[in-house]
Amino acid sequence: MEPPIDFDHFEAATFGDRALQREVLGLFEAQAEKLLQTIRQTDGKAQAEAAHALKGAARGIGAAAVAEEAEKIEQGDASAVERLGLRIADARKAAASYLSRA
């Protein structure tokens, strides 16, 4: 099973800058929660647009499992919403653990 966040990808994308990493992960967490709420409360085009935005944000930090579930929702698979919430929770835990080191 792949890790919730590919930190090799994340470190390369943030040039190893810890302050930037904290900022990016904080922004992802806030955005993910807001978009997940939108995904849960809407359907159709609004749901697909929120899922698309979340997919891009997740790919940006290397959270492939979040991106995969968001893509399923974007394509109309409403059954992926619960799994998406779980993947976001996993990514948040991984991010907190990562930031607590160093």
Q: Is residue 1, in this structure, part of any structural domain at all?
A: no
Residue 82 lies in domain: 7-100
Please give the pLDDT value at position 1. 75
Q: Is residue 55, in this structure, part of any structural domain at all?
A: yes
Quick one: DSSP state of residue 16? T
Q: 97 CB contacts (<8 Å, ≥6 apart)? A: none
Mean pLDDT (the chain) is 97
The position carrying tokens 């698309």 is 52
The position carrying tokens 């394509």 is 75
Structure tokens at 62: 């290397």
The position carrying tokens 């992802």 is 28
Task: Give whole-number Cα distances, 100 to 18, 94, 95, in Å.
Answer: 11, 10, 9
* 2-50 pLDDT tens trace: 999 999 999 999 999 999 999 999 999 999 999 999 999 999 999 999 9
- Structurally, the chain folds into a number of domains equal to 1
Confidence of residue 102 (pLDDT cuts 50, 70, 90): low
Please give the pLDDT value at position 34. 98
- We report the CATH number of the domain holding residue 36 as 1.20.120.160
